[in-house]
A and B are shown apart, each in its own frame.
Chain A
Amino acid sequence: MGARIKEYLLELCCAYTFVSVLGAVVNLIGGKETNNINVLVMFASCAIATFVLFLHNLFDSVSPLVMIIVQYLAACVLVGLMLLIISHFVSPITPRGWFEYYRSFTIPYVVLAAYYYYRVFSDARKQSSIIREIQEKQMTEKRSA
């Protein structure tokens, strides 16, 4: 368990560094400024995303499609909790704010899921051709023997 938590924290650090640097670059280019709450929301989002992706080992027996959907639903619930906490303790969030937040994490999620879907098919095609190549080489070797 300790090792798993360590691994999770390490991945969280990497994800947060990547997202915050990317956010800083985007803000620099766009000329926008950010505040402390945004930084904390960004960190919480990274923690949720890393946690949800970290669950993939639990779904070894189910299909990847089910895993993607369950992970998305888990992320929705956690994001909902996060937004509830923010709206209760920091500042109220308008329905538009809720919609915007869900949209901003759904779009990259769908894009990445589609990419994963594509990779599953392209990897299988590649592996299939390697297997054919190995089989043909073996047949050639047998014939020449």
Chain B
Amino acid sequence: MRLNLYEDKNNFEEHVDVYYANMRPVIRQIIDSVNSERPSLQGRPADEDLDDGEVVILDPKEIYYLDHLDRKLFAYTKDGVFRLMNTLSSCEEMLWNYGFVRVSKSNLINIYKIRQLKPDLNMKVYAFFDNGERICINRSYKKSFNEYLQRMRRMN
């Protein structure tokens, strides 16, 4: 994608024009950024020893997957595990354009962080991530997962 920047000191109405062939996730992300709606998740380290009370801003791109456990939501990143204050369904809605898809009642995974999908001998299908962890893709979410991948492929 070509990026043109024009500096005009006399311009009092700054604006951004986006020319696109089709509405792909990357275009949506640009729109979100311009509208200052780019999602960022706020969390605190899940490990209490590391929690100094500071809120950490998480970029969705850094998250491998979200896990809802004991009514708490955790984000797994390269730098560790963070507890989020959002709900899983609000994250699902917010991160739709950022490669996040629901694969079970309690997991939302980032497809850009998947190394491969692999079934084991008892036919459960797992998504393996760059960090070596794995999440099971539940059978009842298989259809919607497949539809999401097809949609993302068409849109990209």
In the bound complex, CA of A133 to CA of B111 (Å): 11
Binds A, one of B9-17, B73-81, B88-96, B139-147: B139-147
**Residues A64 and B123 in contact in the complex (CB < 8 Å), given A128-B116, A135-B112, A145-B3:** yes
A137 contact set on B, CB distance < 8 A: 156
Shortest CB-to-CB span from A100 to chain B, Å, is 30
A residues in contact with B146, CB < 8 Å: 123, 127
Q: Which residues of A pack against B, CB within 8 Å?
A: 57, 60, 63-66, 116-117, 120-121, 123-125, 127-128, 130-131, 133-135, 137-138, 141, 144-145
Report Cα–Cα, A67/B2, bound state, in Å: 52
> Chain B: residues with CB nearer than 8 A to chain A?
1-3, 26, 99, 111-112, 114, 116-119, 121-125, 138-140, 142, 145-146, 149-150, 152-153, 156
Chain A interface, DSSP helix/strand/loop, else mixed: helix
In the complex the two chains form, is A131's CB within 8 Å of B122's CB? no
* A127, A137, A138, most chain B CB atoms within 10 A: A127
Knowing A124-B117, A128-B117, A135-B112, say if A64 contacts B149 (CB, 8 Å): no
